[in-house]
Amino acid sequence: MRSLGGAFLFDNADPQLLISLLPGVVHVQNSMRLAQLVRMVGEEYMDQKPGSEFMLSRLIGMMLVEAMRSVTTGSAPPGLLRGLGDERLAPALKKMHAQVGHAWTVAELAQAAALSRSAFFDRFTRTVGVAPMEYLLSWRTEIAKDLLRRERLSVSEVAERVGYGSTSTFSVAFSRHVGQSPSRYAASGSGPG
């Protein structure tokens, strides 16, 4: 057995939003492309020629992309990347991400996916692992956490940006999802995990 370890450093001071979109574990089987990239990383690391650091950073980035591509297949566990790999669900997910403040309904999202509401709900839940509105709540919460933490916006401004008609409704939803109020989360500087 061979083991290859590594880490990614993000340019962003707060990579939590990006990390929240990625699966905790990716198990890739029978990928010749990934095997080639692993071999190239090993060779580059062992040779240490001029430009090796640059080459390694690019190869490792390509390994990450190739591993994430495997998560979009039908045999991958449910999650966002698998949803984005589904030709019917991808348009609905992209709309949710692009217009987080829109008052989405299952009917609108089903229309974007060219499916009936029940077929969309079932397919989304099976593929992404959560119901559409539960996913939207999680996505809005992640965006809200980022806005509270980095942008230092008021709770009412954040509520409006992430699609809530009232600050109190947003506060209740945020508190249930995060375990503390938006104002307390913002005051803590970084909030929990």
Walk me through the domains of the chain, giving residue ranges and CATH numbers: 31-70 (no CATH), 80-130 (no CATH), 134-187 (1.10.10.60)
124, 104, 99, 103: which is closest to 113 by C-alpha? 124
pLDDT band at 12 (very low <50, low <70, confident <90, very high): low
pLDDT of residue 191: 46
14 pLDDT exceeds 60? no
3-state secondary structure of 10: coil
pTM above 0.75, yes or no: no
Helices (H), 22-154: 32-47, 52-70, 80-84, 89-98, 106-112, 117-128, 132-146
pLDDT of residue 81: 82
pLDDT of residue 21: 63
Contact 84, 97 (CB under 8 A): no
Instruction: Tell me the average pLDDT of the chain.
Output: 85
Q: Which residues contact 108 (CB under 8 A, 6 or more apart)?
A: none
Distance CA 19, CA 53 (A): 24
| 89-121 pLDDT, tens digit each | 999 999 999 999 999 999 999 999 999 999 999
Cα 11 to Cα 8, 16, 18, 41, 65, distances in angstroms: 10, 12, 11, 22, 17
Distance CA 39, CA 33 (A): 10
131 pLDDT exceeds 90? yes
pLDDT of residue 65: 82
Distance CA 47, CA 36 (A): 16
What DSSP line would sit under 170-185, residue for residue?
Answer: HHHHHHHHHSS-HHHH
Burial class (CB in 10 A: 0-12, 13-18, 19+), 22: middle
